[in-house]
Amino acid sequence: MNDKENNNYVLELLDIHKSYGSKVVNDNITMRLKKNEIHALLGENGAGKTTLMNIAYGLVCPDSGKIKVNGTTLVLENSSAAIKNGIGMVHQHFMLIDSFTVLENIVLGRECKKQGVFTDLQKSKIEIQALLEQYNFEIDLEAKVKDISVGMQQKVEIVKMLYRGAKILILDEPTAVLTPKEIDDLLVVLKGLSESGHSIIIITHKLKEIKKSAQRCTIIKHGKLVATVDVKETDEDQLASMMVGRKVEFSVEKRAHHFSKTLFKVDKLCVNDYRGIRAVNNVSFDIREGEILGIAGVDGNGQSELVEAIAGIRKIESGHFFIEGNNITHKKPREIIDSGVSTIPEDRQKMGLILPFNLAFNLILHKYAIRPFSKFGFLNFESIRKQASSRLKAFDVRPDDPNYLASALSGGNQQKLIIARALFDNPKLLIACQPTRGLDVGAIEYIHKMIIEHRNKGRSILLVSHELDEIIDLSDRVLVFYEGKIVGMLEGKAIEERKIGLLMAGGE
């Protein structure tokens, strides 16, 4: 390669190798970022993407390999060194301080000083305001971080990096928590930045976003480089199969059928959130046998409280719900499970699993006290292990060893384990909350298949998801939640992205 070509790269990660113990996480990966480029980094959960980017940001030290910035080889000992060299990273979990204002968060650690000692917030504010104008950001600098939306917080993180002079921006799954409108906004922001001299690496599982925003895409699998491709010359199917190593079916086959009987009914339900503020406000709906009812909405509009109330773990202020005509309001969680309701909770690690327990025990958490798992008050280990072994195989949990600890599974396999338990004895109503959050396309494909199969058996599913594609692909009917109320009900052909997105944002 001649010098001129070389100059096109603002960041080069060359033959980067990193292992943890005997596990190779980055296996001699090379990735180059061009000036003004948006470059996507794609790979299954656990492929080694975050590690590679942490290496570029000086947070993780590689075992071997070279990092070049603008053609010069550097040793990045920490993130300050990376920032000094114009590299900024926004992590998957934001690192802002909730009780501080936006302005305070942006300047934190880089305050302007008056007379050498006092913080001159006013001076910083003027500089930041100029930045906001330059890049067309609308952010209220005086708002407390805890009061602004996740989409806004993301922008604050980006501005924080720009304020530190970052020319190379690394974003780790920035869209995982955003609404469709926020995602579109972010992609516009990134495009603007790339046109004004910045270069960007974006990690995302969403192939659509890659097609929309990136010029090139680097795919890694099990820590190894698969390829760097031109996005224009690749389609979503090709990207997915390079990443997973086989063809992925995006469309889920759903048998059309006639719904008849109502299975589950919610009548004028009111539920408060943890602060005692009304979160579910007079909500009524029903679900028929063989139907997937999707609930769409931005996080925090009452969906979580609704599900907790149905599962019996949150107090109901007023209203009722019924399964096959039987009133199960105010019943204990165990009685609700026994009446045929099963839940995939939204937080798989906090609510779904007991991480230090093995897979076999996690599979019977809701059934351990009954036969065949217990007899006369004693656990029957043989039967627990045998059941687990066949379930783990049937639900494709890897590894399928009943003695393996839940904490050691990848996110996708933890979710399969939860689904194996939730579908244990063919529940009449499956409540699936964010069933594929943060998972890669291979795992998503599998989980969607399981949900559809359950529906095709004539069972009912309440699907709660912030993922619009998931709601649209799976649901027979969609309710949109906004501020604790149902603001729209869509069925059949009327289920479309633009309409739902608008309702989710409180529009008509």
Ligand X SMILES: Nc1ncnc2c1ncn2[C@@H]1O[C@H](COP(=O)(O)OP(=O)(O)O)[C@@H](O)[C@H]1O
**Which residues contact Mg ion by CB under 5 A?**
50
43 binds, among ligand X, Mg ion, none (CB under 5 to 8 A by kind): ligand X
Give the distance, in angstroms, between the CA of residue 166 and the centroid of all CA atoms in the same chain.
Answer: 26
Contact (CB, 8 A) for 51 and 60: yes
Q: For residues 143 and 135, what is the distance between their CA atoms, to the nearest angstrom?
A: 19
Q: For residues 89 and 52, what is the distance between their CA atoms, to the nearest angstrom?
A: 12
Q: How far is the CB of 51 from ligand X (least distance, A)?
A: 3
In the complex with Mg ion, which residue's Cβ is closer, 53 or 359?
53
Residue 502's identity, in one-letter code, is L
192 binds, among Mg ion, ligand X, none (CB under 5 to 8 A by kind): none
Q: How far is the CB of 240 from ligand X (least distance, A)?
A: 16
In the complex with ligand X, which residue's Cβ is closer, 92 or 284?
92
Q: How far is the CB of 446 from ligand X (least distance, A)?
A: 17
Task: Using alpha carbons, select from 356, 345, 365, 355 the residue that is nearest to residue 437.
Answer: 345
In the complex with Mg ion, which residue's Cβ is closer, 95 or 126?
95
Give the distance, in angstroms, between the CA of residue 34 and the centroid of all CA atoms in the same chain.
Answer: 28
Q: How far is the CB of 489 from Mg ion (least distance, A)?
A: 37
477 binds, among ligand X, Mg ion, none (CB under 5 to 8 A by kind): none
Instruction: Give, in order, the Cα–Cα distances in Å from 56 to each of 35, 81, 92, 157, 223.
Output: 16, 10, 15, 18, 15
Q: How far is the CB of 48 from ligand X (least distance, A)?
A: 4
In the complex with ligand X, which residue's Cβ is closer, 51 or 362?
51
136-143's contacts with Cβ under 8 Å and 24+ in sequence apart are 136/189, 136/192, 137/189, 139/102, 140/102, 141/101, 141/102, 141/103, 141/106, 142/101, 142/102, 142/103, 143/101, 143/102
Q: How far is the CB of 53 from Mg ion (least distance, A)?
A: 8
Which residue number has the CB closest to Mg ion?
Answer: 50
25 binds, among Mg ion, ligand X, none (CB under 5 to 8 A by kind): ligand X
> Which string of b and e fits 97-114 if b means at least 16 CB within 10 Å?
eeeebbbbbbbeeeeeee
Instruction: Give, in order, the Cα–Cα distances in Å from 466 to each of 157, 172, 346.
Output: 22, 19, 11
Q: For residues 210 and 27, what is the distance between their CA atoms, to the nearest angstrom?
A: 24
In the complex with ligand X, which residue's Cβ is closer, 50 or 304?
50
48 binds, among ligand X, Mg ion, none (CB under 5 to 8 A by kind): ligand X
Q: In what helix (H) or strand (E) does residue 73 lie, and over which residues does it extend?
A: strand 72-74
45 binds, among Mg ion, ligand X, none (CB under 5 to 8 A by kind): ligand X
In the complex with ligand X, which residue's Cβ is closer, 51 or 358?
51
Copy the structure tokens of residue 136. Answer: 């067309």
In the complex with ligand X, which residue's Cβ is closer, 239 or 384?
239
Copy the structure tokens of residue 310. Answer: 């149905």
Q: How far is the CB of 248 from ligand X (least distance, A)?
A: 17
Q: How far is the CB of 418 from ligand X (least distance, A)?
A: 19
Q: How far is the CB of 45 from ligand X (least distance, A)?
A: 5
Residue 199's identity, in one-letter code, is S
Q: How far is the CB of 441 from ligand X (least distance, A)?
A: 13
20 binds, among Mg ion, ligand X, none (CB under 5 to 8 A by kind): ligand X
In the complex with ligand X, which residue's Cβ is closer, 47 or 463?
47
In the complex with ligand X, which residue's Cβ is closer, 50 or 303?
50
3-state helix, strand, coil in the chain (%, to 5): 35, 30, 35
Q: Following DSSP, what letter does each residue of 95-149 receive, concatenated? A: ---TTSBHHHHHHTTS--EETTTEE-HHHHHHHHHHHHHHHT----TTSBGGGS-
In the complex with ligand X, which residue's Cβ is closer, 447 or 451?
447
46 binds, among Mg ion, ligand X, none (CB under 5 to 8 A by kind): ligand X
Residue ranges that bind ligand X, judged by CB under 6 A: 20, 25, 43, 45-51
129 binds, among Mg ion, ligand X, none (CB under 5 to 8 A by kind): none
Tell me how crowded residue 403 is: count the other CB atoms within 10 A of its CB.
11
301 binds, among ligand X, Mg ion, none (CB under 5 to 8 A by kind): none
